[in-house]
A and B are shown apart, each in its own frame.
Chain A
Amino acid sequence: MKYQKLAEGPDHTWWVLGRDPEKIGSVIDTNEYLIVGEETILLDPGGTEIFPHVVSTVSRIIPIERIGHFLCSHQDPDIFSSLPLWMGLCPSARIYLSWIWSGFVAHYGHEYTDRFVKVPDQGQRLVLGRKEFQLVPAHYLHSSGNFHLFDPELGILFTGDVGAALMPEETIAPLVCEDFDSHVQYMEGFHRRWMPSDRARDNWLARVSKLEVKMICPQHGSIFQGDHVGRFLDWFGGLPLGSASA
């Protein structure tokens, strides 16, 4: 699995993991983000199938036991079906997830529910050591209980499935989007199909417009930075959602 440093502040660093060349073709490609600082969090650690490669790669960056927090942006299997495997390695880590999903995510491992931090609908601050992040509500994008994570210091917004691109199997998305116009074809169908509500999208855009976003990091596909952040938000704002099914 490939990994690289994404951004660095005075005392915390963002890493991105993904583009695993050994990944089985039928398993959708995902990006995992690791924020290493005084305390460490792994965002959407991924499914059981990719766990061996994620854990191997994370161990190249930090000792595994340093992971004290996980974000589970929503309930899908590619987000955190590896929960019991990670909890074996990081037994005291806390898992941040929407309160509405706690009973469902418990199906991945009920033994760990006491580690769940049930995030209320309005989101919350996430304090890791001296760093403070925000859990930004993104309900119905696509999940009915969905959170993104914003790092105000570096201006990085982790957006889960918003901004995701599904690439054909033979195509590897560049880690950072290089050509927005040609990238749209890989995002459009996904967003039209998976994101059901224009109203939810508009609420999210209103919230995000108040943040100083320099980088948008989705869980699938390429990262947007620089001008591409604004281009993505404009494109997403004009897309008729919930319009891809018959």
Chain B
Amino acid sequence: MRNSLASGSRLHSAMTTTELYRACMQLSEEARSLQMENEGMKRLGLNAQVLAAQTGQQGSALEVIVAEIGRLSGGIREVLTRLGDAAKVLSSTAIEILHMSHLRGSYVLGRDAGIEPASVRRFDETLDGIQRSRTHHLDELSLGLAQVETLIQDLSRIAQQIPPVTTMIRIVVTEITSHSDALLGTVDDLKGFYRNLDEKVERMKTIRGSGAHRIQELRKEDR
């Protein structure tokens, strides 16, 4: 009975740690795929720049839009780079936690099986070392997730600036006769990018929340 309870608790702990690790890897993955999509945003800015040049005198209105797309793209790129860096740290920290939790689980089971007094000091020192390391990594992960939360908010704020830009392009298109189809295509592309960015930001918020919840669960286990 004792053994099956211990196995059950070890299984739960392993599942929690694995979920935490998975959340960190998913954050990494989302950040990476957004970075790739942001390349599309950059290309969009360049295309608009070319159109502005081709549109001659009427292009001056477009230049404002081009500058705006460039600014948004730059802002997104900056946040995504920091997000990517944070995600890398999260992934490696999560791997350490996975490793430490695994070691801790086995040592705790050993202690439950009964360690003789002559060995207890060494055993407890080792277990404490593992425990300290796990707590340190959990703290690191908490900080990392808090940082990610701020970055996700920044990303969300920048994303909110895309719809006004699409509106501006629509207004300009009514004034420009040539290249209007290409410009409307730019609006559609921007809308698609915005929709995707918005969904990803929401997904990242959910993943971050799930990671924070798993950290709480693991901390409860430590008490």
Chain A residues within 8 Å of B, Cβ to Cβ: 22, 24, 48, 51-53, 55-56, 58-60, 62-65, 82, 84-85, 88-89
Q: Given that A22-B3, A63-B122 are contacting pairs, would A85 and B107 also be in contact in the complex, using a CB cutoff of 8 Å?
A: yes
Which of B7, B112, B122 is the one whose CB lies under 8 Å from A89?
Answer: B122
> Please, which residue of chain B has its CB at the minimum distance from the CB of A20?
B113
Residues from chain B with Cβ under 8 Å of A24 in the complex: 7
Contact-residue bracket for chain B: 20 to 34
Q: Given that A89-B122, A89-B123 are contacting pairs, would A59 and B106 also be in contact in the complex, using a CB cutoff of 8 Å?
A: no
> Please, which residue of chain B has its CB at the minimum distance from the CB of A24?
B7
Minimum CB–CB distance for A45 against chain B, Å: 13
Which of A22, A58, A64, A85 is the one whose CB lies under 8 Å from B106?
Answer: A85
Contact with A along B90-106 (1 / 0, CB 8 A): 00000000000011001
**Assembled-state Cα–Cα distance A89/B113 (Å):** 16
Tell me whether B174 is interfacial, beta carbon within 8 Å: no
How many A-B residue contacts, CB cutoff 8 Å? 57
Minimum CB–CB distance for B4 against chain A, Å: 10
Residues from chain A with Cβ under 8 Å of B130 in the complex: 88
Q: Is the CB of B3 within 8 A of A51?
A: no
Most B-side CB within 10 Å, residue of A52, A56, A65, A85: A52
Which 5 pairs from chain A and chain B are nearest by CB? A52-B109, A56-B113, A59-B119, A52-B110, A63-B118
Q: Given that A22-B3, A64-B122 are contacting pairs, would A56 and B114 also be in contact in the complex, using a CB cutoff of 8 Å?
A: yes
Tell me whether B54 is interfacial, beta carbon within 8 Å: no
Tell me whether B75 is interfacial, beta carbon within 8 Å: no
Residues from chain B with Cβ under 8 Å of A51 in the complex: 106, 109-110
Residues from chain A with Cβ under 8 Å of B126 in the complex: 88-89
Residues from chain A with Cβ under 8 Å of B119 in the complex: 58-59, 63-65
Q: Is the CB of B118 within 8 A of A48?
A: no
Tell me whether B129 is interfacial, beta carbon within 8 Å: yes
Q: Is the CB of B110 within 8 A of A88?
A: no
Q: Is the CB of A65 within 8 A of B113?
A: no
Residues from chain A with Cβ under 8 Å of B181 in the complex: none
Minimum CB–CB distance for A79 against chain B, Å: 17
Which of A22, A55, A65, A84 is the one whose CB lies under 8 Å from B110?
Answer: A55
